[in-house]
Structure 1
Amino acid sequence: MTSSQNPLVFITGASSGIGQALAARYAQAGYRLALVARRTAEMQTWADAQGLGADRCAVYGADVADIDSIVTAGQACIAAQGVPAVVIANAGVSIGMDTAEREDLDVMARTLAINNTGLAATFHPFVSAMRERGSGALVGIASVAAIRGLPGHGAYCASKAAVVAYCESLRGELRGSGVAVVTLLPGYVDTPLTRKNRYSMPFLLSAEAFAARAFDAIRAQTSYRVIPWQMGVVVKLLRVLPNAWFDRLLVGRARKPRQSTPPPAGH
Structure 2
Amino acid sequence: MSQPQPLVYITGASSGIGQALALHYYRAGWRLALVARRTAELQTWAREQGLAPERFAIYGADVRDIAEITAAGRSCVLTQGLPDVVIANAGISIGMDTAEFEDLEVMRALYETNNLGLAASFQPFVAAMNARGSGRLVGIASVAGIRGLPGHAGYCSSKAAVISYCESLRGECRPHGVQVVTILPGYIDTPLTRKNRYSMPFLMQPQDFASKAYSAIAAGSSYSVIPWQMGVVAKLMRMLPNWLYDKVLAGRPRKRRQGE
Tell me the TM-score normalized by structure 2: 0.98
Q: Is the 8 A contact 1:15 1:39 kept in 2?
A: yes
Q: Could you say which residue in structure 1 is the equivalent of 2:172?
A: 173
Report the alpha carbon displacement of residue 168 of structure 1 after superposing the two structures with TM. 0.2
Task: Confirm or deny that 1:102 pairs with 2:128.
Answer: no
Q: Is the 8 A contact 1:9 1:32 kept in 2?
A: yes
Q: Could you say which residue in structure 2 is the equivalent of 1:249?
A: 248
SS at match of 1:87: strand
Tell me the amino acid that sits aligned with residue 242 of structure 1: P
Report the alpha carbon displacement of residue 86 of structure 1 after superposing the two structures with TM. 0.2
Report the alpha carbon displacement of residue 260 of structure 1 after superposing the two structures with TM. 5.7
Higher relative contact order (CA 8 A, sep 6+): 1
Q: Could you say which residue in structure 2 is the equivalent of 1:34?
A: 33
Deviations 1:187-245 (A, max 9, x none): 00000010000000000100000000000000000000100111011111111101011
Q: Distance in 2 between matches of 1:26 and 1:53?
A: 13
Q: Distance in 2 between matches of 1:237 and 1:65?
A: 34
Task: Confirm or deny that 1:122 pairs with 2:128.
Answer: no
Identity %: 68
Q: Distance in 1 between matches of 2:236 and 2:107?
A: 28
Report the alpha carbon displacement of residue 49 of structure 1 after superposing the two structures with TM. 1.6
Q: Could you say which residue in structure 1 is the equivalent of 2:60?
A: 61
Tell me the amino acid that sits aligned with residue 60 of structure 1: Y
Report the alpha carbon displacement of residue 28 of structure 1 after superposing the two structures with TM. 0.6
Deviations 1:20-71 (A, max 9, x none): 0000000011000000010001111111122223310100000001111100
Q: Which runs of 5+ in 1 are unaligned?
A: 262-267
Q: Could you say which residue in structure 2 is the equivalent of 1:186?
A: 185
Q: Which runs of 5+ in 2 are unaligned?
A: none
Q: Distance in 1 between matches of 2:160 and 2:148?
A: 9
Q: Could you say which residue in structure 2 is the equivalent of 1:113?
A: 112
Tell me the TM-score normalized by structure 1: 0.95
Deviations 1:108-152 (A, max 9, x none): 001000000000000000001111111100000000001100010
Alignment of 1:7-86 (within 5 A): 7-86=6-85
Q: Distance in 1 between matches of 2:206 and 2:255?
A: 20
Tell me the amino acid that sits aligned with residue 10 of structure 2: I
Q: Is the 8 A contact 1:190 1:205 kept in 2?
A: yes
Tell me the amino acid that sits aligned with residue 114 of structure 1: T
Q: Is the 8 A contact 1:183 1:225 kept in 2?
A: yes
